[in-house]
Amino acid sequence: MQLCRKLAILTGPRDSGKTAVMTELAGMLRAAGTSFGGVITKSGFSDGRKCIYNASCAATGETVRLLELSKNGPVVAEEGFVFASRVLAKTRGARVLLADEFGPLEASGKGFWPALSALDGFDGAVITTRLSLVKTVLETFKYGECMIFEAASTAETARGILAWLSK
């Protein structure tokens, strides 16, 4: 099974704007009338610190809590991972898959991995990951062509990804 014809890997250090690029790209795909779907993981703050992580449906914006980093460690909201898996399953048949993010959980076979591993047949897929996991993403998924993009200027990077996927 081949995940996609074209795989765009969006990478960068923490807080480099990967999620902002994915959100911008979702808006551009919507405006272009391109069928797409997937999950965008958005963070939030509590008491001035980044500690809340939510899964959002890339197509509709519906959002469910994934986890919260408490003083006693992470508190996982299983319903968030169930929601994300359901959203990814509904992405079948779309032209473009957005998956934010392939992180350590997915690399270990957990998190979004079970739902991601069941997908195939997209024209394009955009997966965000940390620099340290790019090689893992390249080795994990089957694809035709691949290009790596670094999160930089939000709109410019999103336009670059969209242009490459459209070729």
Q: Band of the pLDDT at 9, cuts 50, 70, 90?
A: very high
pLDDT in tens, 22-52: 999 999 999 999 999 999 999 988 888 888 9
Of 54, 58, 59, 23, nearest to 158 by C-alpha is 23
Residues 18 and 128 sit within 8 Å (Cβ to Cβ): yes
pLDDT in tens, 136-163: 999 999 999 999 999 988 999 999 999 9
Residues 66 and 41 sit within 8 Å (Cβ to Cβ): yes
Distance CA 101, CA 15 (A): 13
Of 55, 50, 108, nearest to 74 by C-alpha is 50
Token pair 């963070």 in the structure block, residue: 43
Residues 105 and 84 sit within 8 Å (Cβ to Cβ): no
Q: Mean pLDDT over residues 55-67, rounded?
A: 96
Q: Which two tokens stand for residue 77?
A: 């909201």
Q: Which two tokens stand for residue 78?
A: 């299983």
The answer to the question of residue 105 being in a domain is yes
pLDDT in tens, 73-98: 889 999 999 999 999 999 999 999 99
Of 129, 135, 143, nearest to 21 by C-alpha is 129
Domain count, the chain: 1
Q: What confidence score (pLDDT) does residue 48 get? A: 83
Q: What confidence score (pLDDT) does residue 70 get? A: 87
Of 70, 38, 65, nearest to 54 by C-alpha is 65
Residue 153's domain spans which residues? 4-40+85-166
Q: Which sign does the torsion angle of CA 25, 60, 79, 3 carry?
A: negative
pTM, rounded to two decimals: 0.95
The DSSP element (H or E) to which 20 belongs, if any, is helix 18-32
CATH number (domain holding residue 159): 3.40.50
Distance CA 107, CA 61 (A): 25
Q: Mean pLDDT over residues 98-104, rounded?
A: 95
The answer to the question of residue 73 being in a domain is no
The answer to the question of residue 109 being in a domain is yes
